[in-house]
Amino acid sequence: MKIKLLAFGAALALSAAANAAVFTVTWSGAPFNNGASAIGHFDFSATPADLGGAQNQNSFPSANVQLLDLTISGATTGNGSFAQTDFASYYFASFSQLDYSQELIGQAMGNGCSFGKADFCSFGQFGDFNLFGQFNGAPTGTSYFTLSTAGGDRMIVTSMASAVPSVPEPASWAMLIAGFGLTGAAMRRRRITVAA
C-alpha cells in the first residue's frame, strides 16, 4: 500500500504544468536601409497573463524573462554576441493576452491594433518589445520594437515565435507513465489470479 501511495505522490509531483516558453526573436535593418540583423533567444517563464494586458518595464535579472543569447551581424559597428548581463532592462507591452503557441507579431490585441504592426495605429497602441543595453556596446531600444546598434544601425523586430515545437507538459508524461504502470499492474494481477 505504501508503494502505491509513493507512486501516486510521484506522479502527482510530476504533473505540474510547465509555463516556460523559449522564443526566437529576429530583427532586421532592411526597413532602415542597412544590412544589420539580429537573432535572440528568450525564455518567457511567465504566463501570457503575466506579460499581456499591461506595460511592463523590468530590470534584468527578471523572474519572467531571461535573455539566453543575442547575436548581431551586418552592422557597421556593434556586431557580436551579447548576454543578459549586457542589458539593464527589457520592456514588454501588450494590451491583451497573446497566444504563445503562435507567431506573436501580427496578433490582434482587441484595441483594433496588431502586436508589432504600426499599420493604422500610433503612439505604441500596437505594443512594444525592447531591450536596453548597458555594457560592452550592447544594442539599445530607441523606438517601438526597434534596437539600435553601437554604430547607430537600427533594426526592427520581424518575428517573435516559439523556438521549439510543442512538447507535452509534464502532466501528459505523468499520465502516460501512470497509465502504463496501471496497465502492467492489471496484467500482472490477472496472471496471478489465473495461475491460482
Q: What is the pLDDT of residues 64-78, one digit of tens each?
A: 778 889 999 999 999
pLDDT at 30: 96
For residue 83, the tally of other CB atoms under 10 A from its CB is 14
- Give helix 2-14 / helix 170-195 axis angle, nearest 10°: 160
**Which segments in the chain show pLDDT lower than 50?**
5-18
Q: What is the pLDDT of residue 147?
A: 95
pLDDT at residue 5 in the model: 46
Given the C-alpha cell 546598434, which residue does it identify?
Answer: 149
85, three cell numbers: 548581463
Neighbours of 111 (CB within 10 A): 12
Distance CA 145, CA 40 (A): 13
3-state secondary structure of 56: strand
Q: Note the pLDDT of residue 92.
A: 83
Q: Which three cell numbers mark 112?
A: 483594433
- pLDDT score recorded for residue 49: 53
Q: How far lies 108's CA from each of 97, 98, 112, 124, 126, in Å? A: 9, 8, 7, 14, 9
